[in-house]
Amino acid sequence: MSPEPTSPARRRRFGWPQRVFSQVLLMQLAIATGVTVLATGLFLAPLSAQLDDQAMRRALAIAQTTASADVAEKLLNSRPSLDGPVQADAERIRKATGAEYIVIMDMGGVRWSHTSPEEIGRVVSTDPSVPLAGREIMEIDSGTLGRSARGKVPLRDRDGTIVGAVSVGIEYDSVRDRLFSAIPGLVAYAGGALAVGALAAYLISRRLQRQTHDLAFSDISALLAEREAMLHGIREGVVALDASGRIRLMNDEAQRLLGLASGAKGLPLEVVLGEGRTTDVLAGRVTGEDLVTVRGHRVLVANRMPTHDGGAVATLRDRTELEQLGRELDSTRGLIDAMRAQDHEHANRMHTLLGLLELEMHDEAVDFITEVVGVHRATSEQVTEKVHDPLLASLLVGKATVAAERGVSLRIAPESMLPDRVVDPRELVTVVGNLVDNAMDAASGSEDARIEVELYAEGSTAIIRITDSGPGVPFGQRELIFTEGWTTKELPVHGKRGLGLALVRRLAERQGGSTEVRDAPNGGAEFIVVLPEALSELAEPVPATAAEVR
């Protein structure tokens, strides 16, 4: 019978784990074990050498102590024997110091002392020429008593003449025993260090498991690849900031909208963008939703979401590409309102003209037509002379026609002067249109119903002041009227409800501006709206060339 094939799941059970927790734990345990073993080996290697050196120096010190003038004199005045004075002194010193042996030899290398009696009187087994030549030596060597740490020194008489040599040996097994005796304690310390390292590795791995949601490295890599593809594939700009306001992440669309290079990552916003409203919005110094800001020639809508680490993620949408569509839509809406109003007015005038002609009052008919045409020409010329933006001018012309139908006089203040530098005409049209509609509702039915519109610029700031002849706004309701959904009428008189004063305030605040209502000098209400950065800066004048001057 053929063996049962192993399933992939069973094979993976004994393979390398997939989870980050398991992989990191195993790697850290392997590193901790390797470091412990390496540290133990690195400690034992010099320890053995140090013990050898200590044993050799000890042997040399015993030899130097033994090689006294008294021993030299006894060597010269006696014979090598087991009961001789040299052997007695050597054995006494050996027992006192714990040396393995002490050999005292004459100039011929003949032993005068030894732990083995039969070796006394015999020539030494190792070369004695070095100490007999007057030099000291220490070494690890093998002799008749086995391997030992040795120290050899010359033996001099009282006149300093070399009469022999002293060789002292320390049993090498004792050195090895000292080394082995140190190993258990070292292993205990190493085991403790390994246990602490294993515990630390487990705790770190558990923390990493919680932070990575127990995903595999392959899953994290796939998520990162998907995030990069999604981040750079969306058509909104995304800018991620850290807690200190530095750019941590930025997709391609954000680079395009802000006009930045990829090298801006890691730099503070103030360094990359400079001071201005865009920097304040992205840094969170200006709060709110759908904040409008201008960067170069682009009108951007920004939203900012804080993150748990103190940073934030800001999204940017380009409003510039919708500008043309907004202009066309608002122009069409204004034209329809104007044509609807003019339809009623035109019918009344045609009926009047028909009556004059039927009554054969031809001169009066001519005067009536001339007056009507002159009024329309004066209104259009007055608006276009003071308001140079075509979209806003067409709005005011249309609103003047609607106001005339409702019996309200709409005029442009003589001090008005708005250049054709509006950054976002669509929002300015929304603000002015809602304020005029609100003023028209308030002024309708009042005595000498009128509306005055004043538009002027202070640098890049647009200021709008609209005054009506209505009943005014009570002091206690001057903030309430800007609340969304607040109204005093069930249905607008002109049949079309505007976006409301709440929208006016919201649009102004998005641009960092303000709205205010107060009593008009001649009665009624006066609305003042300030829109910073609503106008682009004046272009630098180009210096004339010499040819142009001539």
What is the per-residue DSSP string for 395-445?
HHHHHHHHHHHTT-EEEE-TT-BB-S-BS-HHHHHHHHHHHHHHHHHHHTT
Q: Which long-range contacts (CB under 8 A, 24 or more apart) does 274-277 make?
A: 277/512, 277/532, 277/533
- Dmax over CA atoms of the chain, in Å, equals 177
Total residue count of the chain as it appears in this document: 550
Q: pLDDT tens across 285-309, in order?
A: 888 888 877 776 677 888 999 988 8
Q: pLDDT tens across 120-163, in order?
A: 888 988 888 888 888 999 887 766 556 678 899 999 988 889 99
Q: pLDDT tens across 524-538, in order?
A: 899 999 998 888 876
How far apart, in Å, are the Cα atoms of 488 and each of 438, 441, 477?
Answer: 11, 10, 11
- Choice among 299-313, 417-431, 447-461, 535-549 with the minimum mean pLDDT: 535-549
Q: Look at residue 496 in the predicted model and tell me its pLDDT.
A: 37
Q: What are phi and psi of 535, to 5 degrees?
A: -115, 145
Alpha-carbon span 406 to 444, nearest angstrom:
7
Confidence of residue 323 (pLDDT cuts 50, 70, 90): low
Does the pLDDT value for residue 15 go beyond 70? no
Alpha-carbon span 448 to 118, nearest angstrom:
148
Alpha-carbon span 42 to 187, nearest angstrom:
13
Alpha-carbon span 511 to 483, nearest angstrom:
18
Q: Look at residue 453 in the predicted model and tell me its pLDDT.
A: 92
For residues 429-441, average pLDDT: 87
DSSP state of 464: E
Helix (H) / strand (E) containing 345: helix 323-358
Non-local CB neighbours of 293 within 8 Å, separated by 6+ positions: 277, 278, 281, 299, 300, 301, 302, 533
Q: Look at residue 116 in the predicted model and tell me its pLDDT.
A: 87
Chain centroid offset of residue 151 CA: 68
Average pLDDT, the chain: 77
The tokens describing 480, both together, are 């309430």
Helix (H) / strand (E) containing 201: helix 172-211
What structural domains does the chain harbor? 15-223 (3.30.450.20), 234-318 (3.30.450.20), 323-531 (3.30.565.10)
Q: pLDDT tens across 487-498, in order?
A: 655 443 333 343
Q: Look at residue 310 in the predicted model and tell me its pLDDT.
A: 86
- Choice among 12-21, 144-153, 389-398, 400-409 with the minimum mean pLDDT: 12-21
For residues 345-368, average pLDDT: 74
For residues 384-406, average pLDDT: 83
Amino acid at 270: E
Q: Look at residue 197 in the predicted model and tell me its pLDDT.
A: 73
Alpha-carbon span 273 to 258, nearest angstrom:
8
Q: What percent of the chain has pLDDT over 90?
A: 8
Q: pLDDT tens across 217-252, in order?
A: 666 666 666 666 666 667 788 888 998 889 888 888
Q: What does pTM read for this prediction?
A: 0.43
For residues 174-188, average pLDDT: 62
Q: Across-strand partners of 316?
A: 237, 302
Confidence of residue 46 (pLDDT cuts 50, 70, 90): low
